[in-house]
């Protein structure tokens, strides 16, 4: 089985747009804790949340979220 890792640029883009975690959370309808977990890689967003985040940053989802190219094969 292949297990891809999701890499995101949420923290980087949030800083670039001068938004706090709380600001971004309010804009996309989640808690600040959800944004913190997302930035740490502890949370994988739903498609709807990813779309809402891309709307806030005015860029494509692929510019924010990408799969890590090095997959680990599991037996």
Looking at residue 33, which CATH number applies to its domain? Answer: 1.10.260.40
pLDDT band at 72 (very low <50, low <70, confident <90, very high): very low
Residue 8 domain boundaries? 2-66
Determine, yes or no, domain membership for 74. Answer: no
Determine, yes or no, domain membership for 72. Answer: no
> How many folded domains does the chain comprise?
1
Q: Which residues contact 23 (CB under 8 A, 6 or more apart)?
A: none
Burial annotation 43-64 (CB, 10 A radius, 16+ → b, else e): bebeeebbebbbebbeeeeeeb
Beta strands (DSSP E) in the chain are: 2-3, 6-8, 65-67, 72-73
pLDDT of residue 74: 34
The reported pTM is 0.84
Determine, yes or no, domain membership for 39. Answer: yes
Q: How many CB atoms are located within 10 Å of the residue 35 CB?
A: 27
Determine, yes or no, domain membership for 13. Answer: yes
Residue at token pair 């980087």? 12
- pLDDT tens-digit series, residues 13-60: 999 999 999 999 999 999 999 999 999 999 999 999 999 999 999 999
Determine, yes or no, domain membership for 71. Answer: no
Determine, yes or no, domain membership for 75. Answer: no
């Amino acid at each position: 089985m292949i297990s891809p890792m999701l890499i995101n640029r949420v923290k980087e883009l949030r800083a670039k747009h001068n938004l706090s975690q709380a600001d971004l959370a309010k804009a996309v309808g989640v808690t600040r804790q959800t944004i913190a977990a997302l930035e740490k890689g502890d949370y994988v967003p739903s498609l709807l949340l990813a779309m809402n985040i891309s709307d806030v940053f005015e860029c494509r989802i692929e510019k924010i979220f990408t799969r890590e190219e090095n997959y680990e094969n599991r037996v």
